[in-house]
Amino acid sequence: MDDDVFISVEGLHKSFSSQRVLRGVDLSIARGESMVVIGGSGSGKSVLIKHVIGLLDPDEGQVRVEGQAVGELNRTGLSDLRRRMGMLFQYAALFDSMNVGENVAFALRQHTKMKDAEIKDRVEEVLTWVGLEGLEEKWPAELSGGMKKRVGLARAIALGPEIMLYDEPTTGLDPILADQINDLIIDLNERLHVTSISITHDMVSAYKIADRIAMLYRGKIEEIGTPEQIQGSSNPVIQQFIHGRAEGPITGR
């Protein structure tokens, strides 16, 4: 792994009223790296990546992209940074007033001078990548959960981002589709040198797509390492989680 730190999370704290969700998260991600964050439901994984793209402001600490603190960017700085990022939301967050094609085309229309025909081609292309070719005219309400997820993914990658944030990219997909999405994520990382942070509960996917895996536990990074290191970890918290056992230190049994 090279030392070129691209994204760094430094002592990040975040609470919602009295609930302390993040209690000092430290994490650094190299350019081109695929970082996977695992952790229990409600452990704050979604909250963590929302800080990376400036949807939430830290109570303490910060997230830096290329050394620049995201929370301190002005309007235009933040907007420019966001154009270099794509985010797949956990529940897809498709615009329900637009059909699939318009959803995917949204950022292209907003931020490029591409002609309608070029946009149409690009939309077709990214929809093919996620296995949904020809569904441009469908409405979000007509799609299954897994289809929405993939449209969300297509929308996030349409603009060709340098940084991708995936919030549970394979949840709700059958194993074959899940693997296709894994391949797509790997492809983006390898061919287009995308730097990514993925959140997942799907350990098969985590081992496959990760350069490194970090586990979020009790508001901090419990351990971080390559898939092999994580699998071979002697930390009982890690062992319980990756093997999905009901008994262990996490559950206190």
Ligand X SMILES: Nc1ncnc2c1ncn2[C@@H]1O[C@H](COP(=O)(O)OP(=O)(O)OP(=O)(O)O)[C@@H](O)[C@H]1O
| Burial (Cβ within 10 Å: 0-12, 13-18, ≥19) of residue 151 | buried
- Whose Cβ is closer to ligand X: residue 171's or residue 235's? 171
77 versus 175: smaller Cβ distance to other proteins:
77
Residues 155-194 touching Mg ion, rule: CB under 5 A, are none
Does residue 16 bind ligand X (CB under 6 A)? yes
Assess 169 for contact with ligand X (CB under 6 A): no
Told to check if 198 binds Mg ion by CB under 5 A, we report: no
CA atoms within 13 A on the CB side of 154: 30
Report the nearest approach of ligand X to the CB of residue 122 (Å): 30
Closer Cβ to ligand X, 90 or 235, answer by number: 90
Task: Spell out the alpha helix ranges (H) of the chain.
Answer: 45-52, 75-83, 100-111, 116-129, 145-157, 175-191, 203-209, 227-231, 236-242
The residue type at 118: E
Based on CB atoms, which residue is closest to other proteins, 195 or 233? 195
Structure token pair of residue 80: 């420019």
- The strand pairing partners of 195, in sequence order, are 163
Closest to ligand X by CB, 129 or 241:
241
Task: Give residues in contact with other proteins (CB under 8 A).
Answer: 50, 53-55, 75, 79-80, 82-83, 85-87, 89, 91, 93-97, 106-107, 110-111, 159
Neighbours of 222 (CB within 10 A): 19
- From CA 22, how far away is CA 3, in angstroms rounded? 25
**C-beta separation of 44 from 52 below 8 A:** no
Tell me the CA distances in angstroms from 223 to 10, 15, 25, 220, one per residue in order.
15, 22, 11, 9
Q: Considering beta carbons, is residue 129 or 241 the nearer one to Mg ion?
A: 241
Site for ligand X in 77-96 (CB under 6 A): 90
For residues 37-56, which are near ligand X according to CB under 6 A? 39, 41-47
Q: Is 235 in the site for Mg ion (CB under 5 A)?
A: no
> Whole-number minimum distance, CB 123 to other proteins, in Å?
14
**Scanning residues 25 to 54, which ones bind Mg ion (CB under 5 A)?**
46
90 binds Mg ion (CB under 5 A): yes
